[in-house]
């Protein structure tokens, strides 16, 4: 690709210039701080190369929050642009188009998915009483593919130009003929690199959960979040290869003139649509099932009760995961596939409402006869129930194909999927982060700020998205950058924008809360910080932040809600007679370097700069070879060391409590 | 542009034709059910939260309840019942709107209109009347209209909310959509599926007029409007916005995009248009408004599509 310098660096847009300057300043700032405080080595040794699931989880969450900020700023810009008719804010359509494309793609691929994977990393191994995941090296690799894939995608708006064909990247719109320039290549390669890591995570967690559970933890005794992690991982293994192949085919179309999905030479654009949603629909369950798991944990903890209908909950998620592969056509009922096909997919889609309904009622029944404490994680979980129900029932409305011909591609749809993605996934990300915060950082986030954030966000969310159902019914299509006064859409759009900014402020409170709590909140001393209500094994470790080997002695499980039962039976899981050596994996710098090469290779491909692409490929291979020939048997934490550490933790607790 | 908005203010719930009416009824039915479900959930939630919140004198706490086969069967059965009840009218309507809509006129034979999208404009051909319009559509009131949809380039979606739901236009394929306007008036129609830069403005007016007025209009166009040639037509293949145009003759004489997905790209070459990176320094600002030269003659092409009449081929009917 022959590019002028001013095509390489995007110029001429004030927002983009602001972005470029702030990226430059932030980068310089980070380099300065790390150098000044001599933290480079610490960063490398303790974090970048870490194979500790908890640290990898934290890195996932931090990176996802940064991406949430990026995509959230996109959202605010779009809502500002739509606040009034013929708004000049963003200038031309092109700019809006790039923003909604990056907003949607980042939210799904670089926020929702990795945020939940981060929480899985933090909690799942602890919940099953394991010391780490099955493949710690692979876990580190997964994180770095996500990180560098995200970086590749994100630089597009300052270098080369952002993709603008929508997050669904329909062909032929996304082809070279209709989307010239490097933008769409960033989408293809950024997602490809990230997708590899997601697939690896799926495999990793299936093996971890099937193979590494503590003694006595049968499948039907697993915590609900672990169950959802398992099933989600299975969906990942089923769905992500489809994305990989589809992305590769579109990449070939764009880089090497194949004709899988093009207008020319008998390409089949509709094949892309099918492949995309064959992955895309299961993907939405990948980001909702773990959310269900998180809410199940939180609701049982703060209602102080066992989960109602555990078995039917497990069957419900299994049913949902199976059905999730049988409904993809509901994303294009309007393609005219014929009444038989549409009827089939209408009914299969509505069928998903059955297990989902069962789950809602089971959560409600869990509250019945409970002792409900309105802690911050709990209010998110309680807010989830009615808001998600609204998202769910409008989903059923969309599933009714004949009616969908009227909702499709409108704000009705936009509202629906934000109701499920925000009230489901994003509420769960906040709730889970707050719930497990003490496990990650040894303190609780401030509750007063937490409640402020919840109410502002929840109300803002409804103010933003509820009016959009009516905009949709009034014929406002999605993805338009402006509308006219005669359309009559001004009032509701304006209200919607106000709601968006309420959510923005709520998020700022969250960030402030992190700072405030770090400064002023008391440090937790026990492993069971939510008023002793903990039910599952992550709360059974000796200290608030578990030592890197998680459990000095692997607990033995006697039933569901293992830790709750231990407390009932008066068993202290950390009472240890004889300490034993613990075998732990070593840190590794290989995945980081390998993923940097993926980034370099991807960058070369984006611009058709073959030499750079080849350098990237060679680098990746060298890393693989290095890994294949390295003998790394991990290291042993001696019984003596474990004893010292555990006694230290005990002393600290005694001191605090004394 | 005139938009007819209804008393209740929502286009989709205020249809003006039999297709849209069926969809409205289905929508209203589903909204009713959904409101009930949301209400039930809200009431139960509020009740439990008030009754079982932790407080002094808390009563009824029972930590060991963990299920009830009877209750779980009940709330599995209820969603099954609701889904069943909603499936029946859904399937019925899905099938029904594929049929010719009922008409209250003696001319029940549907009018056939080919609606072709091209970035970022709409091309309407009336093969029987042998006329073509750009960016507006005249149809006789009451009489059913059969739209044959296709696209010259990106996938679009033909949608006239007050008349009925949308359907995709795809290059190299043909989809069909029946609509019918019950009352005279001008309706807002548009592309509902994102097609890039000029998408937001890709709208058209649908004028539903008396059958006699329609016939008069057709006769006038056949007589007075400039004749559509390939030279003129190719200019509409170049991405941009254009005004409303009227021609006698249709482009179906030399191309049916439902069969030939490559035509637009070939026309670009003839017109000297090349796609350009929107961030290039010499890329145009925004979507150009094209001036069409309606005098342009026919073009010579190496591969003449004219030889085989498209209608004779068995077009790739969808799936
Ligand atoms: C902070 C609150 C949010 C606001 C105010 C917001 C706003 C918007 C807006 C204005 C659009 C463009 C609508 C259009 O022009 O068609 C949009 C699209 C979208 N949003 Fe959000 N959004 C938010 C959060 C999220 C979250 C959390 C997710 C996913 C986890 C998400 C996923 C999407 C997707 C997938 C699209 C479609 C993009 C496309 O059309 O290609 N959004 N959002
Ligand atoms: Cu779906
Ligand atoms: Cu097809």
Q: What is the distance between the alpha carbons of residues A468 and A416, in angstroms, rounded to a whole number?
A: 9
Assess contact for A262 and A157: CB atoms under 8 A. no
Q: Considering the entire predicted model, what is its pTM?
A: 0.93
Q: Using CB atoms, which residue from A304, A382, A473 is nearest to B13? A: A473
For chain B, report the end-to-end CA distance as a whole number of angstroms: 37
Range scoring the smallest mean pLDDT among A28-42, A146-160, B165-179: A28-42
Average pLDDT of the residues of chain B: 88
Q: Per residue in A527-545, pLDDT tens?
A: 899 998 999 999 999 888 8
| Torsion (CA) A616, A619, A620, A622 in degrees, nearest 10 | 160
Q: Using CB atoms, which residue from A307, A474, A479 is nearest to B199? A: A479
CA distances from B181 to A357, A547, B146, B187 (A): 39, 72, 12, 9
Among all bound ligands, the one having the nearest atom to the CA of A164 is 1
**At a CB cut-off of 8 Å and minimum separation 6, what does A440 contact?**
A54, A57, A58, A61, A122, A545
Band (A620; pLDDT cuts 50, 70, 90): very high
Q: What is the distance between the alpha carbons of residues A147 and A136, in angstroms, rounded to a whole number?
A: 17
A391 near B CB under 8 A: no
Among all bound ligands, the one having the nearest atom to the CA of A421 is 1
Q: What is the distance between the alpha carbons of residues B129 and B223, in angstroms, rounded to a whole number?
A: 11
- pLDDT in the model for residue A272: 96
DSSP H stretches of helix in B113-210: none
Q: What is the distance between the alpha carbons of residues A293 and A298, in angstroms, rounded to a whole number?
A: 9
Q: Per residue in A597-611, pLDDT tens?
A: 999 999 999 999 999
Residue A658 has pLDDT above 80, yes or no: no
Q: Per residue in B120-136, pLDDT tens?
A: 999 999 999 999 999 99
Q: What is the distance between the alpha carbons of residues B107 and A590, in angstroms, rounded to a whole number?
A: 76
Q: Tokens 């509505």 map to which residue? A: A350
Region B82-97: mean pLDDT is 95
Nearest to B183 by CA among B145, B146, B142: B142
Ligand 1 atom nearest to CA at A426: 27
- pLDDT in the model for residue A3: 66
**Cβ of B166 and A400 within 8 Å?**
no
Q: Please, how many CA atoms are within 13 Å of residue A172, restricted to the half-sphere of its CB?
A: 29
Nearest to A554 by CA among A212, A121, A209, A51: A212
Is there a cis peptide before residue A223, judged by omega within 30 degrees of 0? no
A343 near B CB under 8 A: yes
- pLDDT in the model for residue B109: 87
Spell out a b/e string for B20-43, using b for 16 or more CB atoms within 10 Å of the CB, else e: bbbbbebbebbbebbeebbeebee
**Tokens linked to B118:** 């091209």
| Torsion (CA) A373, A379, A382, A388 in degrees, nearest 10 | -170
**Tokens linked to B261:** 């997905």
Strand partners, B175: B149
How many Cβ atoms sit within 10 Å of the Cβ of residue A32? 10
Q: Per residue in A321-379, pLDDT tens?
A: 999 999 999 999 999 889 999 999 999 999 999 999 999 999 999 999 999 999 999 99
Band (A16; pLDDT cuts 50, 70, 90): confident
From A72, A80, A414, A500, mutation site for ligand 1 pocket: most ligand atoms within 8 A of C-beta: A414
Q: What is the distance between the alpha carbons of residues B94 and A398, in angstroms, rounded to a whole number?
A: 13
- pLDDT in the model for residue B104: 67
CA distance B49 to chain A (A): 7
Q: Using CB atoms, which residue from B13, B76, B94 is nearest to A342? A: B94
**Tokens linked to A398:** 């969309």
Among all bound ligands, the one having the nearest atom to the CA of A278 is 2
Assess contact for A216 and A557: CB atoms under 8 A. yes
Query: What residues in A contact B167, CB-CB < 8 Å?
Result: 334-336, 405
Q: Per residue in A233-253, pLDDT tens?
A: 999 999 999 999 999 999 999
Residue A656 has pLDDT above 80, yes or no: no
CA distance B295 to chain A (A): 28
Average pLDDT of the residues of chain A: 93
- pLDDT in the model for residue B301: 52
**Cβ of B26 and A405 within 8 Å?**
no
Band (A19; pLDDT cuts 50, 70, 90): confident
Q: What is the distance between the alpha carbons of residues B190 and B114, in angstroms, rounded to a whole number?
A: 15
Q: Using CB atoms, which residue from B23, B82, B200 is nearest to A405? A: B23
- pLDDT in the model for residue A80: 95
SS3 B206: strand
Q: Which chain A residues in 551-580 lie under 8 Å from chain B, judged by CB atoms?
A: 560
Q: Per residue in A459-498, pLDDT tens?
A: 999 999 999 999 999 999 999 999 999 999 999 999 999 9
A281 Cβ closer than 6 Å to some ligand 1 atom: no
- pLDDT in the model for residue B300: 56
Give Cα B75 to chain centroid, integer Å. Answer: 39
The sign of the dihedral angle between the CA atoms of B103, B106, B109, B114 is negative
Q: What is the distance between the alpha carbons of residues B293 and B128, in angstroms, rounded to a whole number?
A: 26
**Cβ of B285 and A177 within 8 Å?**
no
- pLDDT in the model for residue A389: 96
**Cβ of A403 and B27 within 8 Å?**
yes
Helix (H) or strand (E) holding B208: strand B203-209
- pLDDT in the model for residue A597: 97
Spell out a b/e string for B163-172, using b for 16 or more CB atoms within 10 Å of the CB, else e: bbbbbbbbbb
Assess contact for A178 and B155: CB atoms under 8 A. no
Nearest to A284 by CA among A320, A248, A242: A320
For A511-545, the DSSP string reads HHHHHHHHHHSPBP-SS-TTTT---SGGGGSSSSS
Q: Which chain B residues in 198-227 lie under 8 Å from chain A, judged by CB atoms?
A: 198-200
Assess contact for B163 and B179: CB atoms under 8 A. yes
Q: Per residue in A35-58, pLDDT tens?
A: 888 888 999 999 999 999 999 999
**Cβ of A480 and B87 within 8 Å?**
no
């Amino acid at each position: 690709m022959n590019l002028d310098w001013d095509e390489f660096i995007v110029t001429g847009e004030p927002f983009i210039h602001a972005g470029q300057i702030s990226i430059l300043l932030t980068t310089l700032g980070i380099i300065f701080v790390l150098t000044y405080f001599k933290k480079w080595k610490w960063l490398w040794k303790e974090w970048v190369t870490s194979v500790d699931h908890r640290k990898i989880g934290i890195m996932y969450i931090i990176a996802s929050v940064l991406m949430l900020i990026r995509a959230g700023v996109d959202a605010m810009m779009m809502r500002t642009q739509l606040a009034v008719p013929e708004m000049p804010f963003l200038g031309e359509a092109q700019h809006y188009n790039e923003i909604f494309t990056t907003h949607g793609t980042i939210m799904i691929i670089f926020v929702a998915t990795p945020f939940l994977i981060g929480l899985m990393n933090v909690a799942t191994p602890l919940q099953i009483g394991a010391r780490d995941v099955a493949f710690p090296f692979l876990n580190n690799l997964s994180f770095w593919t996500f990180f560098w894939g995200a970086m590749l995608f994100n630089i597009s708006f300052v270098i080369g130009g952002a993709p603008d064909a929508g997050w669904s990247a329909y062909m032929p719109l996304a082809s070279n003929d209709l989307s010239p320039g490097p933008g769409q290549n960033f989408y293809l390669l950024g997602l490809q690199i990230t997708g590899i890591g997601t697939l690896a995570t799926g495999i990793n967690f299936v093996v971890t959960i099937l193979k590494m559970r503590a003694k006595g933890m049968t499948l039907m005794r697993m915590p609900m979040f672990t169950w959802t992690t398992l099933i989600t991982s299975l969906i990942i293994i089923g769905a992500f290869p489809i994305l990989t192949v589809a992305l590769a085919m579109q990449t070939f179309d764009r880089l090497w003139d194949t004709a899988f999905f093009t207008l020319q030479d008998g390409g089949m654009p509709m094949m892309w649509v099918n492949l995309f949603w064959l992955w895309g629909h299961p993907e939405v369950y990948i980001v909702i099932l773990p959310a269900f798991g998180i809410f199940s944990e939180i609701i049982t903890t703060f209602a102080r009760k066992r989960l109602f209908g555990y078995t039917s909950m497990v069957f419900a998620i299994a049913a949902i995961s199976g059905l999730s592969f049988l409904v993809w056509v509901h994303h294009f009922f309007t393609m005219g596939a014929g009444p038989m096909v549409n009827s089939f997919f209408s009914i299969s889609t509505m069928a998903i409402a059955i297990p989902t309904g069962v789950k809602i009622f089971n959560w409600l029944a869990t509250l019945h006869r409970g002792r409900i404490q309105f802690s911050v994680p709990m209010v998110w979980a309680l807010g989830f129930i009615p808001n998600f129900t609204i998202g769910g029932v409008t989903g059923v409305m969309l599933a009714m194909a004949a009616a969908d011909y009227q909702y499709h591609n409108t704000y009705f749809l936009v509202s629906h999927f934000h109701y499920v993605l925000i009230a489901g996934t994003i509420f769960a990300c906040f709730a889970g982060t707050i719930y497990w915060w003490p496990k990650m950082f040894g303190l609780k986030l401030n509750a007063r700020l937490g409640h402020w954030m919840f109410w502002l966000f929840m109300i803002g969310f409804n103010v933003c998205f509820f009016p959009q159902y009516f905009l949709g019914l009034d014929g406002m299509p999605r993805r338009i950058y402006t509308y006219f006064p005669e359309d009559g859409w001004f009032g509701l759009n304006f209200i919607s924008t106000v709601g968006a900014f309420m959510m923005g402020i709520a998020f700022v409170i969250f960030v402030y809360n992190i700072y405030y709590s770090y400064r002023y909140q008391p440090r937790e001393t026990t492993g069971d910080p939510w008023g002793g209500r903990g039910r599952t094994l992550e709360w059974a470790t000796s200290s608030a932040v578990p030592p890197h080997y998680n459990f000095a002695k692997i607990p033995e499980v006697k039933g569901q809600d293992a830790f709750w039962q231990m407390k009932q039976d008066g068993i202290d899981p950390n009472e240890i007679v004889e300490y034993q050596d613990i075998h732990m994996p070593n840190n590794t710098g290989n995945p980081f370097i390998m993923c940097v090469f993926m980034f370099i290779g991807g960058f070369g491909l984006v611009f058709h700069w073959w030499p750079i692409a080849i350098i990237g490929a060679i680098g990746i291979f060298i890393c693989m070879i290095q890994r294949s020939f390295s003998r790394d048997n991990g290291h042993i934490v001696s019984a003596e060391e474990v004893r010292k550490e555990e006694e230290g933790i005990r002393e600290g607790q005694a001191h605090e409590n004394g | 542009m005139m938009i007819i908005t209804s008393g209740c203010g929502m286009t989709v719930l205020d249809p003006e034709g039999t297709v849209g009416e069926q969809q409205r009824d289905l929508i209203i039915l589903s909204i009713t059910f959904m409101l009930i479900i949301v209400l039930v959930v809200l009431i139960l939630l509020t009740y439990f939260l008030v009754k079982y919140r932790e407080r002094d004198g808390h009563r009824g706490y029972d930590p060991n309840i963990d299920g009830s086969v009877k209750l779980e069967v009940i709330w599995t059965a209820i969603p099954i019942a609701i889904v069943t009840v909603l499936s029946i009218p859904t399937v019925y309507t899905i099938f029904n709107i594929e049929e010719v809509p009922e008409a209250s006129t003696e001319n029940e034979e549907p009018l056939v209109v080919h609606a072709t999208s091209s970035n970022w404009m709409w091309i309407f051909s009336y093969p029987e009347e042998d006329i073509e319009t750009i960016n507006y559509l005249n149809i006789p009131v009451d009489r059913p209209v059969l739209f044959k949809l296709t696209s010259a380039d990106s996938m679009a979606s033909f949608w006239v909310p007050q008349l009925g739901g949308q359907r995709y236009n795809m290059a190299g394929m043909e989809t069909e959509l029946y609509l019918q306007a019950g009352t005279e008036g001008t309706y807002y129609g548009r592309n509902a599926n994102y097609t890039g830069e000029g998408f937001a403005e890709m709208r058209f007016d649908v004028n539903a007029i008396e059958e006699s007025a329609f016939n008069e209009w057709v006769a006038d166009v056949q007589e007075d409007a400039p004749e559509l040639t390939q030279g003129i037509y190719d200019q509409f293949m170049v991405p941009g916005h254009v005004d409303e145009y009227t021609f006698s003759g249709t482009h179906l004489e030399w191309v049916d995009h439902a069969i030939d997905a490559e035509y637009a790209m070939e026309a670009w070459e003839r017109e000297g248009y090349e796609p350009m990176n929107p961030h290039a320094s010499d890329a145009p600002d925004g979507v150009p408004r094209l001036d069409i030269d309606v005098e342009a003659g026919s073009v010579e092409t190496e591969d003449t599509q004219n030889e085989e009449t498209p209608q004779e081929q068995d077009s790739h009917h969808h799936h």
